[in-house]
Amino acid sequence: MQIKFLHAADIHLGYQQYGLEQRYDDFSEAFRWIIDTALEERVDFLLLAGDLFEKRTLDPRTLLIAVTEFERLREARIPVVAIEGNHERTYGDNLSWMEYLNQSGLLHLLDCARRDDGWQPQPWNQAERTGGYVDLAGARIYGLRYQGAQTGTALSEIGSAIAAAPQPAAEFSIFLAHTSVEGYYDQGHPFARQQDLASLRQCVDYLALGHVHAPYPDSLGQEEWFFNPGCPETWSSEEWQYQSKGALFVEVDTEVAPNFKATPRNYPHRRPFMRIRQELDACPTPGALLQLLEEKIRREPLPKAGVESTDSKDASRAVTGRLPQSPKSPVVEIVLTGVARFSRTEIDTAAIEQLAKQYIDPLLVRVRSTLQEAAASVVEDGSALPREVLERTVFENLIRADDRFAASASDVAQIAVLLKQMVLDGVAANEIANEVHSRLRAQGDLSGTGLKNAEPPRNSD
């Protein structure tokens, strides 16, 4: 038996990332590419392993896009088999939009629902359009909607139920699940343990996964059987490093071993993301930060298209050995890290954004900070110090972190402590200014601080 199918997941149709209309269009375009690929390959069916939609509530435009594209497959007599992911599932007895598409005949929505006697996959009922598995083109396809923390238990029990079922086994079996697998990008996600999959492994040839947006066919050997195509677009900036995402084109031949071949189809129009990191430890002033960032941004290679060309006729690749530049403007994320040697309030994010626009022509610039305050590393155990000493130490270290004030950190810290106490005591602003001026005059020239030659304000009373 020979069949071919396309496995996709986590399309997140309707996502208007960062509130930008262009990003809504990007996710819509990725969905159309999935449909185009299924039609071009003339697959026997399309598998969607959860999170077709970004959220459970849809606007009319998003629903219209889904219906229009699925109609193209129905006209070509290519069935769609899907499960619900965590983004689109509803609570209680509310009808989901995935169920609406199912009842409209645009897809088969599978779920091995739990019954009184446990997890028992039921055959597809065409009249009611429900079931835990369906037979298409000679393959048996099972599906389980997103189950969160119960996923491992559900998969284990379903595997045992399938193995014990009296009906003859199909020549090729597929299982759709919206979960990660232990050891494969499972951080922060409910996942199935390897032992949870043991019974399922005995009766399923291909485990079609979704939920984790990173692809993992590449790291798996020929004997592996679970695959994830990855989200075709970049749903989060944390996914920028995944270069091979899109769909999996699977060719089955039960007469040979191994009995299938899964080939990644990378989405070529994914909008590029760029991440530029800058440590602030080496930046003594806000001006120095801008200079370092300008040099780094200026030297940053322009983003490339989402897929590496394998066409020898690609002249740009043949000459340069590089990927063609992406026609889409990138989303640029500038991450400031380390310990700031000056106040965070002095960081000019508008100027940083302008630098990126000057050299890159981005769709959007996001400046993100993971900075540590200099005071955070002042003392290892502040609880062991008197409050007055700790307060003075914090002021002094904050001031010393700024090179403009470092040489006079102790003197300036003393003035800062005095100033703070006078404010708390309700001293009039004019009196505070006179006191500070008096202290500066007594301590002499605080060179480099910008505090020398300070004059008290005129009394306005």
- Higher pLDDT among residues 115 and 352, named by residue: 352
**pLDDT greater than 50 at residue 347:** yes
- pTM comes to 0.76
pLDDT-above-70 percentage for the chain = 81
Give helix then strand counts, H and E, for the chain. 11, 18
DSSP structure class, residue 376: G
Please give the Cα distance from 286 to 283 (Å, whole number): 7
If pLDDT is split at 50, 70 and 90, which confidence band does 165 have?
A: confident
Residue 440: per-residue pLDDT: 72
Burial 248-278 (b: 16+ CB within 10 A, else e): bbbebebeeeeebebebbbbebbbbbbbbeb
Q: Which are the contacts of 236, defined by CB distance < 8 A and separation ≥ 6?
A: 213
pLDDT digits (tens, 9 = 90+) for 298-339: 888 776 555 433 333 333 333 333 334 567 999 999 999 888
Is pLDDT larger for residue 242 or for residue 176?
Answer: 176
Sheet holding 172-178, edge to edge: 133-136, 139-144, 172-178, 206-210, 226-227
For residue 246, pLDDT over 90 is answered with yes
Lowest mean pLDDT among 124-133, 359-368, 380-389: 380-389
Contact 366, 334 (CB under 8 A): yes
The full set of domains in the chain, from first to last, is 2-266 (3.60.21.10), 273-301+323-372 (no CATH), 376-443 (no CATH)
Question: What pLDDT, on a 0 to 100 scale, did the predictor assign at position 455?
Answer: 56
Predicted confidence (pLDDT) at residue 19 exceeds the cutoff of 90: yes
Identify the bridge partners of residue 81 per DSSP, sorted by sequence position: 47, 108
Q: What dihedral do alpha carbons 81, 86, 92, 98 form, nearest 10°? A: -30
Provide, rounded to the nearest whole percent, the portion of the chain with pLDDT above 90.
46
Token code pair at residue 136: 């298409």
Phi, psi of 361 (to 5 degrees): 60, 60
pLDDT of residue 446: 57
Q: Any idea which of 4-8, 130-134, 209-213, 404-408 has the lowest mean pLDDT?
A: 404-408
pLDDT of residue 284: 85
The pair of structure tokens assigned to 440 is: 């500066």
Task: Give residue 108's pLDDT.
Answer: 98
pLDDT at site 307: 41
